[in-house]
Structure formats: C-alpha cells, structure tokens
Chains A and B, each alone.
Chain A
Amino acid sequence: MATKPETDTPVFETPGRFEKLYNEYEGTKWSRVAIYGGLSMYLLWTLFPVYWMVTGSLKTREGLLTFPPQWIPLQMEISNYVVLFTQRPEFWRFILNSMIVTIATTIIATFLGACAAYGFVAFDWPYDLDFHLPFYILSTRFMPPIVVAIPIYVIFRDIALVNTLPGLILLYVMFNVPFVVWMMKGFFDEIPDSLVESAMIDGHTHLGAFFKIVLPLAKPGLFASGIFAMIITWNELLFALIITHSADAATLPVGLSSLITQYTIQWELISVAGTIAMIPVLIFAFIVRDELVRGFSMGVDG
C-alpha cells in the first residue's frame, strides 16, 4: 500500500481509506478473535510434533509413552545423546558420510548449474535451444525418483559405484542441478549485458568476466540454490537406501530408518538422532526463506 503509484491515488483522496473499506470486517471483535484463534491453532499443530521430538530426546524411554504424557521432560536425560553414540557408534560414520555427500553435492551442483544457466542466458542458441533445453532440464524434476532408481542401481552395480560416496554424490548432483539451473537463470537474467561487455573491453576474456563479474553479482542466488540443494541432499532417503548398504557410505536418513527395524523401538535414541538430523537444515533454512518457497514450488512463486 505504501508504494502505491501516484496514478492510483485520485480514487481515494485520503490515504488509508481504501484499506479501511476493504478490510472492514477486521474491525469487529469476534472476527479478529476467529482469525487469531485459527492461526494460533494452525501454528500449534504445525510446530508441536517438532517440539515433541526435541523434548523426546531428553526423556527416558518410559517417559516417552506415559499416560498422561509428559508435556515437559521431567528429568532432562542428556545422557541419551551419549548412549546413542556408545550403543550405535556407526552413527558417527552416518553423520560424517552425510556431511561429505551434502557438502560435495552442494558445491558441484551449484557450480555446474550456475555455469549451465549462464550458458543459456548469455548466448543465443540455434533452434530456440536456450528455451527448450532449460525446460527439458526442469522437466526431469517431475519424474518420480523410483523410476530411475531401479535402472541406476543396475548401472552402478556394473561400474562398481554401489555403496560408495562418489556414486551417491553423482546421483545427488543429478537430482539438484535442474533446480539450480532454473533458479540461477532468473538471477542471471537481471544482470545487465553491458557489465560483461565493458569487462571484456577492459581485457577480460568472457570466461574471466563470468567468474570475476557475473558470479560475484549472483552471490545471493548461488547462496539460496546452494542451501536448497543442501537441504534436499541432507534429507534424501530413497537413493541412499538403494545405493548404500553399510556404514561405508550410508547416510544419516538410512541410519535413522535402521533404528526402526529393531524389535523394541528405542524411542529416546530415535528422538536424539532425529533431533541431530534436524539441526543443520533448521539453521540454514531461515536465512533464505523466500527462495526456499520458490525452490519447493519449482519456481512457481515468481
């Protein structure tokens, strides 16, 4: 409303009058109660399960399923965190594998995707390929992963990439590149050609101008698509489950899913591992909130 262009103002002489008219029923007390009540309920419903897991990691196993429930953990069993790693030492490996795979995938996918996006934005391709190819790249995201997971397992088995970190990284780069291309395309579109042209007159090669001028300018985009790739990779289960079968390459989600197959479910350890798995994504996600929504909706929210 504050940024309403001049031409609109003659409709209402007094600023703010329009909001009053349009949002009239906010004025009544009961509707305001209903709105705030509805939103609070929704917020509670959305956040409670997360609270339940984090506090669950501080309860004893009996405390997790008492009747009535322990709304607040009674005895703060921080020792659960130690027990997980003494009982299941391979969890160190799962976390390490997850970190290696996530960091490598994020860097490679963001770099490759940014290069490809610039290749489409900065050059004219014959046969409208600069339109069709990015569209093909994006459309691979519509394909259900299980469709390629089965043949990829067979291919990886033939070239000895099963149960290796490089194999997993290769898969995840493929998984993340389409999104990076699509997102970076939007960022590069907004960088004026004249910047690159003047850098080339100054003696840079085009490639040099891309690295020294274009990429630094697109840093917010690189950052956002990198974090999106990071979250997707850190969370992925299906490919990791299929491609890995031991602590040599298994990631944290695979480790988490292995906790449930035991005869007695150790809920306090599951809560600990789940809480640990939540931390990195929570930290990074809030930095790039708006770009995340664009990522999850494949660029719809433009």
Chain B
Amino acid sequence: MSEGTNTVSENPIHASASEGSRKERLALWADEHLAKLLVIPTLVLLFSMTFYPMIRAIEMSMYQYTAGQRIGFVGLDNYVNLFYDSTWRNSLMVTAWYVFLSVTVQFVVGFVIAVLLNRKLKFRGLIQTLILIPMILAPTVIALVWRLLYAPGGLLDFIFYPIVGGNVGWISDSSIALYSLILTEVWQWTPLVVLVMLAGLQSVPDHLKEAAVMDGASRLRIFWDITLPHMKSLIVLILIIRVIDSIRVFDKVYILTRGGPGESTNVVSMEMYRAAFEFTNWGAAASMAISLLLIVLLIAITFVKIAEVKF
C-alpha cells in the first residue's frame, strides 16, 4: 500500500520516532496504518451485519423448523416448496403490480410537475421545500394519516359520496385495498421524482437549447431531441431507486392492511414477516429472503445493463 502523501519524512514526529516516547511511537504506528484503521471498523460492521446474516440465511433456508426449533436438514426442499406455494407466488404478483403501478404513476406525475416547475416562478424555492415533507415523514405516521383518510365515513368517503353514494371500502374491499396502498406510496415518493427530475432539467446546457432555438426548433422538438436524451441516465437511475425501494415496502402495508383483506395486499415483506414471526417457519422465511435477494439483484443488473449506466 502506498501512502498518498510523501512529505511524512519532513515531519518532526516521524523523524524522532525511534527515540520518542511511547505516545509518539503510537502516533507513528497509527499514521503508518491510518488507511486501514479508518476503514476497517466500517467494513467489519457491514460485513457482520449484511454479509454474515446472508450466509446465515442461506444456511437457515436448508433446514426445517418447527416453532422456531431446527429439526432437520432438508437441502433445497424449502425452495422447491416455495415454487409450489401459491401464497408466495401471489405475494410476488402483488408486489410486482404494486411496484410497477406506483413507480409508473410517481414517474409520470413527478415528471410533469418538474416540467411545470422548471421556469421562473415566484415561489419555486418554497414549493421545492414544502414538497419535501412527505418523504421525510415516517412511513408509519403516513400510513396512519391515510388510514384515517380511508376510514369508513372519513374524508375520502365524504369527497366521493356524490359519485358513489355510500362508503367505499378503501382498505376493506379486496379489489380496492391494493390501489389505496399504491396511492399512499405515490403520495409519499412523487416529490423525490419531482426534485431529481427538476435538477436534471436544469442541468441541460443552455447553449444546446439556444442553438436549437436558432435553428427554429419547436419547444416539443427541443424537449424530445435535447432534454430527454440528456436526462436518460438520470431517469434510469431514479427508476432503479424507486423500484428497489418500493420492493421493500413493509410499514405502509403493516399499518394499513396487514396484507389483507384475504391476501390481496400481501406483499413479499409482509409474507416473509408472517412466515418468520407469526408461524416461526424460519426455513421457509429464509428461503424467501434469499429468493427475494436474487430477484432484486437481477432487476438491478438488468436496469444497469439496459441503460449502460455508470455509477
């Protein structure tokens, strides 16, 4: 390992270290190994809290558990069972639909709002600050607010009364509950798309647009041929981030529906939570965890490959 700075020899402490006190020798030793000393605590922590648990999860997924007690090695049986488990398959479908719909709506709405904001406006700074609020609030708190809004006879029922003429089972009707969850997710995370896309729109170099204006290009043409290509990698990245973040949704589902009614909102995190902590079926839960990890990896790699994004 070669140290970045080569001026150490001129340092009086380093020069006198051989005959120096214990303290000075310690200081010299610390400097010599500084790079490792600075980095190792973090690496050890991350290794023991992410890498090691994953290895444990792989191990757990190969055993059968009853009431939290390991009873025997079953190899890949848990994975095979998972393949035929209709509850798990349903939870994958529910999650896929949740992620697809909420990210699409967030992106479309967020982009439109960003385009609207990308001009000289009196209160732009204020708006940019205020729309931060949903994303900094705890998903738990947000889910509680929305549960109040969705409550029978609550505000949303009042607003929709003239159209529907009665209460809507926002979170109690199995054909509607998932869409109510998606609405909550969209509410919380559209602002992030707005702010990131706005930053992207503002990063398009003016001279490109000026040249296009000189050539007589229309606004739509400029947007399509200059702005969009310039923002391509930013768009892909915000989509990856939102997709990967929405796959992990738990808090909102836990507070709003607990996966119900029936299994209509039983997303993967909820299903794994129940397998592990309600049915203490650790083997099955661990095999779900590993499968989910592989799925997330696959999605991330696909995205990066498609867009040739460089981090």
Contacts and interface: CB of A to CB of B under 8 A. Distances in A.
A151 B187 contact: no
Contact of A150 (B1, B5, B250, B286): B286
A64 interface: yes
B22 interface: no
Contacts of A247: none
B46 A137 contact: yes
A50 B147 CA distance: 13
A200 B8 contact: yes
Given A53-B144, A67-B153, A300-B234, A281 B136 contact: yes
A282 B254 contact: no
A65 B113 contact: no
| Interface size class of chain B, counting residues whose CB lies under 8 Å from the partner chain | 35 or more
Nearest to B59: A151
Contacts of A65: 151, 153-154
Contacts, number: 324
B96 interface: no
B39 to A, nearest CB: 4
Interface in B105-135: 109, 112-113, 116-117, 119-121, 127-135
B192 A52 contact: no
Contacts of B103: none
A247 to B, nearest CB: 17
A91 interface: no
A12 B154 contact: no
Interface in B125-161: 127-142, 144-149, 151, 153-155, 157-158
A4 interface: yes
A43 to B, nearest CB: 6
B238 interface: yes
A235 B138 contact: yes
A189 interface: no
Given A53-B148, A150-B272, A69 B158 contact: yes
Interface centre among A35, A122, A205, A241 (most CB of B within 10 A): A205
B4 A257 contact: no
B210 interface: yes
Contact of B213 (A18, A112, A205): A18
A119 B38 contact: yes
B4 A124 contact: yes
A205 B210 contact: no
B160 to A, nearest CB: 12
B83 to A, nearest CB: 19
A296 B192 contact: yes
A237 B256 CA distance: 14
Interface in A95-124: 112-113, 115-116, 118-120, 122-124
7 contacts: A11-B211, A150-B276, A206-B5, A253-B138, A253-B251, A278-B141, A289-B132
- For the complex of A and B, the 3 pairs showing the least CB-CB separation, nearest first, are A119-B38, A235-B138, A174-B49
